[in-house]
Structure 1
Amino acid sequence: MKRETLKRWLAVSMAGAMALTTLAGCSSQGNSSSTAKSEGSSTDSSNKPDTWIADRTITVQAYVDDIGNTLPDDINNTETMKKITELTGIKLDVRYTPGDSDSKVMASQFASGTIPDVIVSYLDDSTRKEFPLLYKAAKDGMFADVSDYMKNSKVYSKYYEDGYLPQDTHDNIVFRKNLDGVYMWQMNIDEIDRSLEYNAEEEYVGGMYIQSAIADALGIDPRTINTQDDFYNLLVKIKEGGFKDDNGNDVYPLGPKYWGGSADPLKFITAGYHWGVSDNYNLDTDGKVKHIAETDYAYDQINFVRKLLNEGLMNPEFFTMDSTRAEEVSRNHSSAIMADVHNYEEIVYGSDDWVPLGPLNDIQGDNKEVVHGKSHRGCMAISANAENPEEIFKFFDWLSTKEGQIIAQYGAEGVSYDMVDGYPRLKDEVVKKLNDGDTDYLINTVGSGLGGSGNYFFEFVLTNKNNIDNFGEPRPGASAGESAFARSVTIARDYPVEKKLVPGLDATAYLSADELADVKMQMELLDWKETFIQACFAKSDDEVKSIIESFRAQLKAAGVERFENHVKKVYDENPESVTFYK
């Protein structure tokens, strides 16, 4: 999330108190957008380009805060959208409604029974909390069946090719057997699976980062910190080193993740005890599927965190700090180590202050990054009440053609980019704006996705992506002489990460089986992360044991054994169907 655009949206976020059932909210069409409606499609195609679709406005409701935080003031007045309208006739009204969470806004608006032409949502896979809402809407007839359009499309027809889609995307989302058509689909599918390749120019190197000055003062190479003991000993040395932050206060050896307090970074911090590799589940030595709470690994992980907290090696607000303060303590160097950030955040690429730490070894004793194959992200659906839904689908299909993707990512030729040796290349002034972090210009004037640095809507709704072959660079501007992300690439080169393929879905994807509906309902009431945090702050070992035993009893009462037996059966039939490794 860009800080400049976040400030621009502070006033807008106050609208979160409004009744969520309204579709009114932030919109990309200027002041008159709240009453914008789809215009009738034009039947006169004379003197129109071959790419022409219809003279109409498509209204999109986005349940994606990254889209809401980067919406242009008037999307149709950006250079990118002007070019798109010239070629297709289509204008857009992209809306975003702030609220407690995007999924809560979605639930409220779905409950009202009406949605605009198109909805787009977060959906990494079928285990995300948005999926039950989308699935129910599909079953309730809120979405249009696009299977006929998809089969005859230029790009999305690839979804029917064997092996093109990741298994979860194919089986659980796009082509569900208990739906009689295609009612929702994921985007951001890679044309070619490069998940095991390591290309420094496009790698996001996440996880823990340590202050360079502290690493130098201690004389350590952060890449050599690979075990839990290594990590603990480093934290002790930092505390004993008397290091100060920008305000002269003692640093905390380990601080929260850059984006705010959370239990999520524990996958980096307690990697050696992170037994629940498949969304808290894994295969035990006896071959049975178990939740981490049912194993001693839970105690190992909790006890390690308790030791860090009790010895003052970990910020006591590690799990709870709000995003504003977390960014502040990071920028003030109040944490010697940030629990999680990546090389494409300005705090990292904007100076030499931070370098990656580790990564730590996992339960297998290696520190390779686990990948699952092709990427897949986001979800789209067309309203069953939309006028001429085939035009809407045709537009998003065209947007994912090579021609559409170049415009969506780079903008208008001759304005923000030129073609050089067959590839789009950003103009020098646009590269400078990227370097300067001028998001207002990038969003409101150019209006293209720019690989996530501009209007995120156009980054989010593309599919069949192959930037290397189509653009000759992993993201717009990456090949420029003075890339905005030069240090991001340098970090990726200096701190390479090995990868290992572990195919399959997280175990919880199989909770969506119809025969487990009652178990799923009960399991969704349980919160392991909250229980884990509670145990970390327990006053005694006996209290820790009581908390864990209580959660184990809740799991059993919810029917976890039925679920685990079902997952084991799925795994036995096809070991590559579940993300397990011993």
Structure 2
Amino acid sequence: MKRKALALVLTAAMAATALAGCGSSADTGSASTTPAASEDTAKDDTAAADTEEDGDYYVDEDGNKYKKFDDVQLKMLVCWNGGFNTADDQYNNEVAAAIRDKIGVTVEFEGIMMSEDEKLNMMFASGDMPDMINAPYWGGSSGSTGIIKKAGAEGRLIDIKDMLPNYPNISDAWDVGVISQKYLENDIDDPSFNGARYVLPTEVAGDVEDIAMWNYGVFVRGDVPEALGIDPTSIKTTEELLDFMQKAKDYGFKDVNGNDCIVATTFHNGWSYDNYLQSYNEKKLTGYSLDADGNVTYDKLSENYVNKNLVVWKMVHDGLLDKECFTTTDDAAKEKVGNGTALFTCAQYGVTIDATKQSGLYDSNPEMRYTWVGPLNYSDGSAQVQVESEGRSGSPAIIFPTTCTNIDAAMTWLDYVNSKEGTKLICYGFEGDTYELNADGQPRMTAELAERYAADSDSVTKELRQRGIGYMAGRSYVAKKNAKWFGESAPFEADAENEYITAYKKVHPVEILKGYAIDAMAPGYENYSDFSEWAFDDVKEKEYIERAFFADTEEEARQIILDYQEYLKTNNGGEMEKFLDYMTEQSKTRDDFAY
């Protein structure tokens, strides 16, 4: 996506003076606690005169021009259960002070330790709202998305549709490719908004290289394939994986403390046992399929769904899968992985590696470092990839309640921190202090910081956070371009990223599947709100499926899964059939549907 330009054309002398003072904490006036005139402008009388003529502005190193405010202080609620780590002093830390010196705006963040839905409902009911809110906006009508849509329809949010083009660094937030056509048509432009746009998508990629790579898969303790004489990358099907697991079980491995091992586990609440079943999955975007007769079908009603879940029953029945994994906490799971008690694990590779680093296993027993299996192929035998739609189809998002005290200042702050200069500041800090430029002119954290980060990333992250480095980016990215600009998605990544993760990314790359995802049509069903409550109820499915996993016999397990399918087919007078008929009719309305 080409970045839209909106900047004054400046003389070379003015541009040169405007760049002064942006390099280090000393130059930014970081000790100041009160708004001050821009040092950059004050250094040149001509520039100062031009600034006075136009009003008070800051021009960044790329020529982008920002209105400068008089110490505007704003609040952003980070509406994600679990809190949000910030610098202890969000006003006086060095990065906040540097931003304030340039544009006169400071944003302070507040986290929550409660349900996102509950918090949003409380705020909109009371009218006690901050200037900005970052919250889940995954699309459709469930959860936070529905609450935010209701707030927009009721006039509780500010329409930013005509404002956004004035802020060039975030003006591509609604471009197809950054977000999907489905997300744009159904959620950003929800019919209840009557043409207004209230939602600014965040944490989306501005370019393909900035798509977050989640690195899902199956991972095995490194000494296991070595002892068994098996190349783990040769394992391409779930059946081959189960045979591998059985051989590992029969061998009698011990963990780092000499205790008996479990064969395979997951992280919290079974996350993500589906990785073990990969060769039963198709490469697709949705949970729907189009059959040979042109009818839309629901994947959870298929025979494949039954067979796939019977594999989990077999894993439990044969002692291959940890029986506790479906209710485990992440802490308990990390202990099993961190001690090498689980021979196989799954979900995201980084989570596995972090568990072994925290326990010390990664360094004390390098032969036990987890490596990847496969990756397993799809059901058609094709290589597994990280499937992505053409643009994200749901995301965290920023909304602006009508209580926002200064929407221009809020948008200007977001515009600046999403510029190349602003992103470099909030992520890397200060040149010559926390980072240097490499031969390509890209920021890299200093060798001293990189060495310390490799040894203890948590302490370095906390240290930098106190200076304001790192935390602002987490909930303010719009169309992320870090990899495009800096050659790495995050500081330390290019030089300090785990070598195993770097290698795994190459065998498990991102692939964009184009098309308008058919599931976008589902909310148009006349009774969708009530229908979706039971038809897509994960809790109900979990009750059936996990009961099947622990059944005494395979036949009993099969019957429980079939009972769940029958529940889906017959509940509410057989409404599922009516819904799928609707989806079939919708499938004929355009020629770019993806399944």
With the shorter chain as reference, the TM-score category is 0.7 to 0.9
| Equivalent residue, structure 1, for 2:315 | 308
Q: 1:252 aligns with which of 257, 262, 266?
A: 262
Cα offset for 1:336?
0.3
| Equivalent residue, structure 2, for 1:485 | 498
| Equivalent residue, structure 1, for 2:19 | none
User: In structure 2, what residue type is equivalent to 1:466?
Assistant: K
TM-score (norm 2): 0.78
Q: 2:544 aligns with which of 531, 544, 566?
A: 531
Cα offset for 1:371?
2.7
CA distance in 2, matches of 1:194, 1:47: 36
CA distance in 1, matches of 2:455, 2:400: 38
1:37-89 deviations in Å (ceiling 9; x for gaps): xx9xxxx99776343244111111112357x3432222233322221122121
CA distance in 2, matches of 1:320, 1:301: 20
Q: 2:288, 2:518 within 8 Å by CA — same for their partners in 1?
A: yes
1:120-150 deviations in Å (ceiling 9; x for gaps): 0234554774322221222122211111211
Alpha-carbon distance change, 574 to 195 in structure 1, aligned in 2, over 3 angstroms: farther
1:332-366 deviations in Å (ceiling 9; x for gaps): 11110012231474246755411011222222222
Cα offset for 1:211?
0.2
Alpha-carbon distance change, 386 to 474 in structure 1, aligned in 2, over 3 angstroms: closer
Alpha-carbon distance change, 47 to 412 in structure 1, aligned in 2, over 3 angstroms: farther
Please tell me whether residue 374 in structure 1 is matched to residue 391 in structure 2.
Answer: yes
Identity of aligned residues (%): 20
| Equivalent residue, structure 2, for 1:502 | 513
Cα offset for 1:190?
2.6
| Equivalent residue, structure 1, for 2:531 | 519
Alpha-carbon distance change, 471 to 501 in structure 1, aligned in 2, over 3 angstroms: closer
TM-score (norm 1): 0.80
CA distance in 2, matches of 1:537, 1:504: 39
Q: 2:224, 2:343 within 8 Å by CA — same for their partners in 1?
A: yes
SS at the partner of 1:572?
coil
Kindly name which structure, 1 or 2, has the bigger radius of gyration based on alpha carbons: 2
SS at the partner of 2:162?
helix
Where do residues 205-216 of structure 1 align in structure 2 (5 Å cutoff)? Answer: 205-216=215-226
CA distance in 2, matches of 1:556, 1:396: 49
Q: 2:78, 2:475 within 8 Å by CA — same for their partners in 1?
A: no
SS at the partner of 1:210?
strand
1:190-245 deviations in Å (ceiling 9; x for gaps): 3333489xxxxx85432111000111111111111111220110111011000111
Greater alpha carbon shift after TM alignment, 502-511 vs 265-274:
502-511
| Equivalent residue, structure 2, for 1:322 | 329
Q: 2:74 aligns with which of 49, 58, 73?
A: 58
Please tell me whether residue 545 in structure 1 is matched to residue 559 in structure 2.
Answer: yes
| Equivalent residue, structure 1, for 2:456 | 437
User: In structure 2, what residue type is equivalent to 1:511?
Assistant: A
Cα offset for 1:435?
1.6
Q: 2:427, 2:491 within 8 Å by CA — same for their partners in 1?
A: yes
Structure 1 residues without counterparts, runs of 5 or longer: 1-38, 197-201
| Equivalent residue, structure 1, for 2:274 | 267
CA distance in 2, matches of 1:422, 1:570: 51
| Equivalent residue, structure 1, for 2:200 | 185
User: In structure 2, what residue type is equivalent to 1:261?
Assistant: N
1:270-301 deviations in Å (ceiling 9; x for gaps): 12334695554333444322233322122201
Where do residues 38-187 of structure 1 align in structure 2 (5 Å cutoff)? Answer: 49-50=58-59, 51=66, 52-65=68-81, 68-99=83-114, 101-126=115-140, 129-159=143-173, 165-180=179-194, 181-187=196-202
| Equivalent residue, structure 1, for 2:588 | 572
CA distance in 2, matches of 1:360, 1:73: 45
Alpha-carbon distance change, 554 to 468 in structure 1, aligned in 2, over 3 angstroms: closer
SS at the partner of 1:371?
strand
User: In structure 1, what residue type is equivalent to 2:217?
Assistant: G
Greater alpha carbon shift after TM alignment, 467-476 vs 521-530:
521-530
CA distance in 1, matches of 2:347, 2:183: 28
Pairs aligned (count): 519
1:427-450 deviations in Å (ceiling 9; x for gaps): 233323422334344345445897
User: In structure 2, what residue type is equivalent to 1:404?
Assistant: G
CA distance in 2, matches of 1:145, 1:172: 17
User: In structure 2, what residue type is equivalent to 1:374?
Assistant: G
CA distance in 2, matches of 1:183, 1:460: 17
User: In structure 2, what residue type is equivalent to 1:106?
Assistant: L
User: In structure 2, what residue type is equivalent to 1:489?
Assistant: T
Q: 2:389, 2:514 within 8 Å by CA — same for their partners in 1?
A: yes
User: In structure 2, what residue type is equivalent to 1:432?
Assistant: E
Alpha-carbon distance change, 284 to 317 in structure 1, aligned in 2, over 3 angstroms: farther
Q: 1:274, 1:363 within 8 Å by CA — same for their partners in 2?
A: yes
1:13-41 deviations in Å (ceiling 9; x for gaps): xxxxxxxxxxxxxxxxxxxxxxxxxx9xx
1:236-274 deviations in Å (ceiling 9; x for gaps): 1011000111232221111113xx232x42331112334
Q: 1:408 aligns with which of 422, 426, 429?
A: 426
Cα offset for 1:521?
4.1
CA distance in 2, matches of 1:161, 1:285: 34
SS at the partner of 1:567?
helix
Q: CA RMSD in A?
A: 3.1
Alpha-carbon distance change, 399 to 54 in structure 1, aligned in 2, over 3 angstroms: farther
SS at the partner of 2:172?
helix
